Amino acid sequence: GAGVSQTPSNKVTEKGKYVELRCDPISGHTALYWYRQSLGQGPEFLIYFQGTGAADDSGLPNDRFFAVRPEGSVSTLKIQRTERGDSAVYLCASSLPTSGTDTQYFGPGTRLTVL
Amino acid sequence: LAKTTQPISMDSYEGQEVNITCSHNNIATNDYITWYQQFPSQGPRFIIQGYKTKVTNEVASLFIPADRKSSTLSLPRVSLSDTAVYYCLVVGLNNAGNMLTFGGGTRLMVKP
């Protein structure tokens, strides 16, 4: 079946601009996660959705970052007033949230470059 | 959750068995050990998960000693396509919906 998809695959923007990154999870997965990965490092957690609500947003670095999942499926990560330090690969993952050992399925990521 | 420590990098040759050891001294009773693999320009992919002793699947084996303070991922007869970053993680059984906490991973380079 279809895996997690993310669009766009690459996004280049200028400092100060607004960007939106989209994630389509696996059908039926009610848990959705956003991570950010800088070059040479492991992914870092940003936010977790259970259904439509953000169950844990403790990883969002500041209030320029916001994410929504209005219908409990597709999610959009929004970054306002982008800064060069926001450049990274943004990964989305989904899972069945029955236990902590559930496998998270990752998308290919969106590579964001802020000039 | 327990912090994990693993080698930064490893080199191997095609056809060899590769063993990557991870330490997790503070692992809790309800924690499981999970390994993910990540190829360049792709998201991480689940490889294997275990609680104790030995787990084997079509990709790898996972060895966990009785004290569970470490674990070893074993890749039999690696090929060039096994070149990737391998992450060892500890996940809590009862923490449904908790984020994965990745360390730096082990960069495995398989040479011809």
User: How close A105 comes to chain B (CA, Å)?
Assistant: 7
**Is B52 within 8 Å of B64 (Cβ atoms)?**
yes
Q: Cβ of B81 under 8 Å from any chain A Cβ? A: no
Residue A45 lies in a domain: yes
Residue A111 lies in a domain: no
- CB contact under 8 Å between A101 and B43, yes or no, is no
Residue A74 lies in a domain: yes
Residue A75 lies in a domain: yes
Mean pLDDT of A69-81: 96
Does position B98 have pLDDT exceeding 90, yes or no? no
Cis amide prior to B65 (ω within 30 degrees): no
Residue A23: which CATH number? 2.60.40.10
For residue B86, the chain A residue with the least C-alpha distance is A42
Domains of chain B by residue range:
9-111
- CB contact under 8 Å between B43 and A93, yes or no, is yes
Mean pLDDT of A90-112: 91
Residue A39 lies in a domain: yes
pLDDT digits (tens, 9 = 90+) for B34-58: 999 999 999 999 999 999 999 999 9
CA distance B58 to B60: 6
Residue A87 lies in a domain: yes
Mean pLDDT of B81-97: 88
Distance in angstroms between the alpha carbons of the first and the last residue of chain B: 38
Domain interval for residue A86 = 5-97
Does position B19 have pLDDT exceeding 90, yes or no? yes
Cis amide prior to A8 (ω within 30 degrees): yes
Residue A78 lies in a domain: yes
**Is A93 within 8 Å of A104 (Cβ atoms)?**
yes
What tokens appear for A52 in the block? 């439509």
Does position B111 have pLDDT exceeding 80, yes or no? yes
Residue A40, SS3 per DSSP: coil
User: pLDDT-derived band of residue B93, with 50, 70 and 90 as boundaries?
Assistant: confident
Q: Note the CATH number of domain B9-111.
A: 2.60.40.10
